[in-house]
Structures are given as C-alpha cells and as structure tokens.
Amino acid sequence: MQPFLAFKILLFTALVPGAVLFYIPYYWLVAPSASLQSPKLLLALPAGVCFILGTAIYLRCVWDFAIEGLGTPAPIDPPKKLVITGLYRRTRNPMFQGVLLLLLAECLLFANPALLVYALSIALLFHIAVVFHEEPGLSSRFGVSYSEYCRKVPRWGFALRAFSSDAA
C-alpha cells in the first residue's frame, strides 16, 4: 500500500469513525452521565467479541478499498473502481456493519441507554445515507455492473453464495 494512501486512510479513520465511535459518544453521552467509570464486566465478553469482529471487518474493508479500489472510504477520495472482493462479495455495506458492531460493543460494555439510542440513530442514518446518496452515486458511476451486483448481493443481509463478477 502506498504510504500516502495509508496516511489518508488513517486520517479518515481518526476523523470519521473516530468521531462516530469515540468523540461524540464519549464527550456528549458517556462523560456527562459518568457511566464510563462503571463498565458492565458481565457484558465484557460479548462486547469483546463485537469489538474484535467489528475491528476485523472494518480493517478488511479498508484493505480492499486501498488494494482493490486504490482509494479510501472518504467520499472525497473514493475507490477508483467498484470494490466487490472480500466481504463485499456477500454483503454490500460491510464497513458500516463493522462500525455498528463496534458501537454495539460500546453499548454492551457501558449499558448506557443514551448510547443505545445514539447507536440506533447512527444505524438509521447509515441506512438513509446508503439508500439516498451512496447507491445512486455508485449506480451513476458504475452503471450495469453495479446494478448486477445489487441484484445478487443484499444491502444489509448476508448472501450465502459469494458474488462473482465472472458469473455476472
């Protein structure tokens, strides 16, 4: 991976997922209610599983964006070609799902109702962003190949049969 591309991905990760997962929930929700001092240890195991899974999914998606698509997750510097490898062969939005798993890990660990409402709002916002902005944009950029991909790979679900562009 080119160093400048890696730097841009790191910067994006620190700014955007960093804000969604850490800065906003911590400063706006967790810190004022002082719940950060009392993480629920009973839920630490499922929270840990969600954290590891979410992190692995996010890193794999970023890797595919960089190596296959030669771009970043940032809307101002997207992949140059349609990324339909790795997890994208089975679900259309694994990166969002990885971030939501990380949010779920936080909800489990801190058992904070405000955090759960925040996570559900973020999930709804992701859905709206995907349906109203990302999909129309990808459709106009990649045309038929994206339509074929959408027909075979679910937006949020998980296809049992992996998508293959050769079979398209």
Partner 1 sequence: MKEKLKTFIFAELIYHEDPASFGDEDNLLDAGLDSMGIMRLIMFAEKEFGVTLPDTEIEPDNVGSLNKLENWIKRSGQA
Nearer to partner 1, 36 or 114 (CB): 114
Residue 120 C-beta: closest distance to partner 1, Å: 10
Nearer to partner 1, 1 or 125 (CB): 125
**Three-state SS annotation for the chain:** CCHHHHHHHHHHHHHHHHHHHHHHHHHHHHHHHCHHHCCCHHHHHHHHHHHHHHHHHHHHHHHHHHHCCCCCCCCCCCCCCCCCCHHHHCCCCHHHHHHHHHHHHHHHHHCCHHHHHHHHHHHHHHHHHHHHHHHHHHHHHHHHHHHHHHHHCCCCCCCCCCCCCCCC
Residue 118 C-beta: closest distance to partner 1, Å: 13
- For position 159 contacting partner 1 by CB under 8 A, the verdict is no
Residue 125 C-beta: closest distance to partner 1, Å: 6
- For position 32 contacting partner 1 by CB under 8 A, the verdict is no
Determine how many CB atoms are found less than 10 A away from the CB of residue 140: 9
Contact (CB, 8 A) for 157 and 99: no
Contact region with partner 1 (CB under 8 A), list: 15-23, 36-44, 63-71, 130-138: 130-138
Nearer to partner 1, 40 or 133 (CB): 133
- For position 133 contacting partner 1 by CB under 8 A, the verdict is yes
- For position 75 contacting partner 1 by CB under 8 A, the verdict is no
Nearer to partner 1, 28 or 132 (CB): 132
Pick from 1, 14, 31, 124: which binds partner 1 (CB under 8 A)? 124
Count Cα neighbours of 19 within 13 Å in the Cβ-side half-sphere: 5
- For position 19 contacting partner 1 by CB under 8 A, the verdict is no
Contacts with partner 1 by CB under 8 A lie at: 121, 124-125, 127-129, 131-133, 136
